[in-house]
């Protein structure tokens, strides 16, 4: 038995519903972590997702953000916001407990706009809050997956042109250090675990033909707890959906796990 999981920043679920349905048909994932729904819960395409065979747990927001966990088996929402800042009302985090000792978190880390900006400070603070939250999760034996758009390219291998991007947003030392902090806690980057040297990207700017010229960055990850990573079987970045008609600017990232 295999548990197939996907993380995908869809850049509006209503604009991308057809692509999502095709992805679900083709990949038959058990768990899907979505980011940038860009809609309230009432506007979420509940019927279509249910018709595809999935339960949906989500945090919605008008115009911006919004995250969801889709699962074939019914889950239970453990948290619908990242603790640590009561003034933060952005829909960027949902933690769902699933049957069989699995747990799936969908996270949309702030972009940060520009190094040194207010949004950059918010991004670093969000990553600190995430670090605090994830520390507690490792104490349990739960098989935890944290899938999301981290908006950080971890190393220069994850960047098409490291010189141009050096020190820029998505690549600056402080944000890289913050995500490394998660790895130091014990979380594993499932894609890099199985493809140590691959230069593959998960996001390409819409502008200037970024995808056609492969000017990409790898900023979407499925991090796994050690107990989950013990069962890691496969991982991939699905380039194809990025080439579909009117695509998201992100590619889905897959991780497969053995289930006994």
Partner DNA sequence: ATGGTGGTTCGACCA
Per CB under 7 A, residues contacting DNA are 11-12, 14-15, 38-39, 62-64, 110-111, 113, 119, 151, 206-208, 246
- CB-based contacts of 36, cutoff 8 Å, min separation 6: 9, 10, 11, 12, 65, 66, 108, 149
* Active-site entry in 108, 120, 150, 221: 108
State the nearest-atom distance from the C-beta of 76 to DNA, in Å: 28
CB closer to DNA, 144 vs 169: 169
Cα 32 to Cα 18: distance, rounded to the nearest angstrom:
15
Bridge partners, residue 95, by sequence: 79, 105
Q: Could you confirm whether 197 is annotated as catalytic?
A: no
Give me 30's structure tokens.
């058990």
Closer residue to DNA, CB minimum distance, 163 or 207: 207
Active site residue 149: yes
What are the residue numbers of the active site? 108, 149
């Amino acid at each position: 038995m295999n548990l197939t999981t996907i993380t995908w920043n869809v850049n509006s679920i209503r604009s991308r519903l057809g692509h999502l349905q095709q992805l679900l048909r083709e990949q038959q994932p058990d768990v899907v972590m979505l980011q940038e729904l860009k809609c309230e819960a009432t506007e979420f395409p509940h019927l279509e997702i249910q018709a595809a065979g999935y339960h949906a747990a989500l945090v919605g927001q008008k115009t911006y953000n919004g995250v969801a966990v889709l699962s074939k088996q019914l889950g239970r929402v453990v948290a619908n916001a990242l603790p640590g800042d009561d003034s933060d009302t952005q829909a960027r985090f949902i933690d769902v407990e699933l049957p069989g000792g699995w747990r799936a978190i969908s996270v949309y880390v702030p972009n940060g706009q520009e190094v040194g900006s207010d949004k950059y400070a918010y991004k670093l603070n969000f990553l600190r809050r995430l670090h605090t939250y994830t520390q507690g999760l490792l104490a349990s034996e739960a098989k935890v997956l944290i899938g999301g758009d981290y908006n950080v390219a971890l190393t220069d291998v994850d960047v098409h042109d490291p010189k141009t991007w050096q020190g820029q947003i998505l690549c600056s030392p402080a944000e890289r250090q913050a995500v490394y902090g998660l790895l130091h806690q014990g979380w594993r980057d499932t894609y890099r675990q199985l493809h140590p040297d691959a230069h593959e990207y998960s996001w390409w700017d819409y502008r200037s033909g970024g995808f056609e010229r492969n000017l990409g960055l790898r900023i979407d990850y499925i991090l796994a707890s050690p107990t989950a990573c013990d069962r890691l079987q496969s991982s991939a970045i699905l380039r194809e959906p990025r080439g579909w008609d009117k695509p998201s600017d992100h590619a889905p990232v897959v991780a497969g796990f053995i289930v006994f």
